[in-house]
Chain A
Amino acid sequence: MRRERVPIVVLVPAAIGAAFFILPLLGLIVRSPWGDAFTALTAPETVEALKLSLLASLSATAVGLVLGVPLAWMYARVEFPGRDWLRALTTLPMVLPPVVGGIALLLAFGRRGLFGSWLDSTFGITLPFTTAGVVMAETFVAMPFLILTVEAGLRSMDRRYEEAARALGASRWRVFTRVTLPLIGPSLFAGAVLCWARALGEFGATITFAGNFPGVTQTMPLAVYLLLETNQEASFILSLVLLLISLVVLVGLRDRWLGSA
């Protein structure tokens, strides 16, 4: 088959656009002190930060699934007044500067916050500056990705499969778990991975709401930022680790979600 030539007006900006992404990554790879990589990676602070990052981001994903899937279902299936407004509100963290999100969380759940003071006085629960606070901050920022992806999946699935299941005597719960969830499986998976990746890279909301305590709230991105001032080389290495994790996720997702042919 004859291949069509790509117009030059497309090719040039496309190449510049690609270079814009590739060059910084190249810089990171070339300038990282590979000789010290092992030392930097096995340093106790690094291991702690990495562990905390994984724990918090996976927890945020779990919370996102438990709360986000029902919310997506409501958006996709139930007509209720104010639905569009509520959807816009729950999507807001995607565009909001994460620091602003962190401040909002403080004002709501901080010790003297709207609900925080009540939680504190009634149950003795304090959320900010704890690991739970990290999970909250990450969930706040990352869950919208999951909600939107799952909602799109629910909207595009053929609902007649659910009717077929009902006609076979399946209860609503059985229809949901045995038919709906498997059929939106790819969206569910993609949503969860996006949510997790976003949570893993979360910085602004976390440092604002949860602070930067090693072992408690200091996740990888926070550690990277801090190391930049004390030990640049180590921060390069940690950046590279984050980069690799993200890359693995994206490549893994490619077939399912990014639609490689």
Chain B
Amino acid sequence: MSLEASIRLTLGPLNLEMALTIDEDEVVALLGPNGAGKTTLLRAIAGLVPFRSGHVTLDGKVLEDTATGQYVPTERRPIGFVFQDYLLFPHLSVLDNVAFGLRSRGTPRRAAADRAVQWLDRVGLKSYARAKPSELSGGQRQRVALARALAPDPRLLLLDEPLAALDVTTRAEVRRDLRHHLASFQGIRLLVTHDPLEAVALADRLIVMEAGHLVQTGTSAEVTERPRSQYVADLVGVNLLRGAADRGSVQLVGGTAVAAAGAESGDVFAVIHPRAVSIYRSRPEGSPRNVWPGRASNIELMGNRVRVRIEGEVPIVAEVTPAALKDLELVEGGEVWLSFKATDVMVYPA
């Protein structure tokens, strides 16, 4: 049982071309920056956005195929959709919102109400059945939206930025609940987020997309350990370089060579953790193979560490302790030398 989609479409500035397969035993998160086309892809899978070419197949049943002209309208697809700002019907009670999908699919009024109450009980909002959505808090609305999407027993659950509309305090709590509900849902689960923490916390597998295209896919460990795009590297907070590896050295596009341990060759990514980068006021002596000068361009406090962005031949971010920063008497714009060991450069094929 799986979802298979291959979609090409153009919408305004977005040129989307994505193919994905999602199995029932995994929670998948589409991760990417704003404007990457994540929501558009989700909407296309739901049948809400027409696409130029491609197909969507759910459990072997074709929902849409531009080659054969098959199209199952949204209202006849076995889907549950949780929208970004939930879109609870403001004129209906919480109960009627949750019962809406069941009623639409022909469940008699009484049975639909009973099921809706069960679902409200499951998300802990039974006592709010008669309330209007406007009387609920953000976290409660999210839970009603989830209950409304799940009540008709969909085969495919689509969630668009399910936590984005919440404030930071409620987010952690709702995320835990959502994780639990995702785990107990018997079907295919796909969620969209631009928040890496959310993606890692909720999903087993990440699909990273940028500008309408797939960048990387894998478990959260695979993606965070081996970033394949600047976007992911920035999310994880590591330096990502790309070049041609040859006998312990990586030749970068700009001409700089980075010494690296390992026997990779060919087109590679090289990752250097900011903590592995040392900063000096004058050229350091000693063993590190990678030494070059630069200018501190941006100094930022992150928790109990300080991140220093150093512009040079290759821009590199270094992480030092506040004490070390004080000893260096470093200010933005100051001249520095940086160094890192060849053994701290992790190289993997591009």
Binding site for B on A (CB under 8 A): 158, 160-161, 163-172, 174-175, 178-179, 182-183, 185
From A158, A168, A179, A185, contact of B101 by CB (8 A):
A168
Query: Which chain A residues border B101 with CB–CB below 8 Å?
Result: 168-169
Nearest residue (CB) in A for B88 is A164
Binding site for A on B (CB under 8 A): 46, 48, 73-76, 79-81, 83, 87, 89-91, 100-101, 104-105, 148-149, 152
Query: Which chain B residues border A167 with CB–CB below 8 Å?
Result: 46, 48, 74-75, 79-81, 149
Nearest residue (CB) in B for A163 is B48
Q: Which 5 A-B pairs have the closest CB atoms?
A: A168-B101, A167-B81, A169-B104, A170-B104, A164-B87
From A164, A171, A172, A174, contact of B89 by CB (8 A):
A164
Interface SS of chain B? mixed
Query: Which chain A residues border B73 with CB–CB below 8 Å?
Result: 166
CB <8 Å contact, B91 and A185: yes
CB <8 Å contact, A166 and B75: yes
- Report how far A175 CA is from B87 CA in the complex, Å: 14
CB <8 Å contact, B48 and A169: no
For residue A48, give the distance in angstroms from its CB to the closest CB of chain B. Answer: 41
From B79, B83, B89, B152, contact of A179 by CB (8 A):
B89
Of the A-B pairs whose beta carbons lie under 8 Å apart in the complex, a sample of 12, sorted by A's number, is: A164-B83, A164-B87, A166-B48, A167-B48, A167-B75, A167-B79, A167-B149, A169-B105, A170-B100, A172-B75, A182-B89, A183-B90
Contact A161 to B75, CB < 8 A, known contacts A167-B48, A170-B104: no
Contact A183 to B91, CB < 8 A, known contacts A164-B81, A166-B74: yes
CB <8 Å contact, A182 and B100: no
- Report how far A165 CA is from B76 CA in the complex, Å: 12
- Report how far A168 CA is from B89 CA in the complex, Å: 12
A167-B75, A169-B76 are known contacts; what are 20 more A-B pairs with Cβ within 8 Å?
Answer: A161-B87, A161-B89, A163-B48, A163-B87, A164-B89, A165-B89, A166-B73, A166-B75, A167-B48, A167-B79, A167-B81, A167-B149, A168-B75, A168-B101, A169-B75, A169-B101, A170-B100, A178-B100, A182-B89, A182-B91
CB <8 Å contact, B91 and A171: no
Nearest residue (CB) in A for B101 is A168
CB <8 Å contact, A168 and B152: yes
- Report how far A165 CA is from B74 CA in the complex, Å: 10
CB <8 Å contact, A163 and B91: no
For residue B88, give the distance in angstroms from its CB to the closest CB of chain A. Answer: 8
- Report how far A183 CA is from B133 CA in the complex, Å: 14
Nearest residue (CB) in A for B158 is A167
CB <8 Å contact, B83 and A160: yes
Nearest residue (CB) in B for A170 is B104
Query: Which chain A residues border B76 with CB–CB below 8 Å?
Result: 169
Query: Which chain A residues border B100 with CB–CB below 8 Å?
Result: 165, 168, 170, 178
For residue A238, give the distance in angstroms from its CB to the closest CB of chain B. Answer: 40
CB <8 Å contact, A168 and B104: yes
Query: Which chain B residues border A170 with CB–CB below 8 Å?
Result: 75, 100, 104
Query: Which chain B residues border A160 with CB–CB below 8 Å?
Result: 83, 87
- Report how far A165 CA is from B88 CA in the complex, Å: 10
Nearest residue (CB) in B for A179 is B89
CB <8 Å contact, A169 and B152: yes
Query: Which chain B residues border A179 with CB–CB below 8 Å?
Result: 89
Query: Which chain B residues border A183 with CB–CB below 8 Å?
Result: 90-91
For residue A239, give the distance in angstroms from its CB to the closest CB of chain B. Answer: 40
For residue A79, give the distance in angstroms from its CB to the closest CB of chain B. Answer: 15
For residue B141, give the distance in angstroms from its CB to the closest CB of chain A. Answer: 13
For residue B142, give the distance in angstroms from its CB to the closest CB of chain A. Answer: 14
Query: Which chain B residues border A166 with CB–CB below 8 Å?
Result: 48, 73-75
- Report how far A169 CA is from B46 CA in the complex, Å: 11
Query: Which chain B residues border A169 with CB–CB below 8 Å?
Result: 75-76, 101, 104-105, 152
Contact A168 to B148, CB < 8 A, known contacts A161-B87, A179-B89, A182-B91: yes
- Report how far A189 CA is from B46 CA in the complex, Å: 34
For residue B70, give the distance in angstroms from its CB to the closest CB of chain A. Answer: 18
Query: Which chain B residues border A182 with CB–CB below 8 Å?
Result: 89, 91
For residue B73, give the distance in angstroms from its CB to the closest CB of chain A. Answer: 8
Query: Which chain B residues border A172 with CB–CB below 8 Å?
Result: 75
- Report how far A75 CA is from B183 CA in the complex, Å: 46
For residue A174, give the distance in angstroms from its CB to the closest CB of chain B. Answer: 6
Query: Which chain A residues border B149 with CB–CB below 8 Å?
Result: 167-168
- Report how far A169 CA is from B75 CA in the complex, Å: 4
For residue A255, give the distance in angstroms from its CB to the closest CB of chain B. Answer: 17
- Report how far A209 CA is from B90 CA in the complex, Å: 45
Contact A171 to B104, CB < 8 A, known contacts A160-B83, A183-B91: yes
- Report how far A171 CA is from B75 CA in the complex, Å: 6
Query: Which chain A residues border B89 with CB–CB below 8 Å?
Result: 161, 164-165, 179, 182
Most chain B C-beta atoms within 10 Å of own C-beta, residue among A158, A167, A182: A167
- Report how far A95 CA is from B73 CA in the complex, Å: 43
- Report how far A3 CA is from B83 CA in the complex, Å: 44
Query: Which chain B residues border A178 with CB–CB below 8 Å?
Result: 100
- Report how far A185 CA is from B89 CA in the complex, Å: 13
Nearest residue (CB) in A for B106 is A169
- Report how far A158 CA is from B149 CA in the complex, Å: 19
For residue A247, give the distance in angstroms from its CB to the closest CB of chain B. Answer: 30
Query: Which chain B residues border A174 with CB–CB below 8 Å?
Result: 104
Nearest residue (CB) in B for A158 is B87
- Report how far A160 CA is from B81 CA in the complex, Å: 12
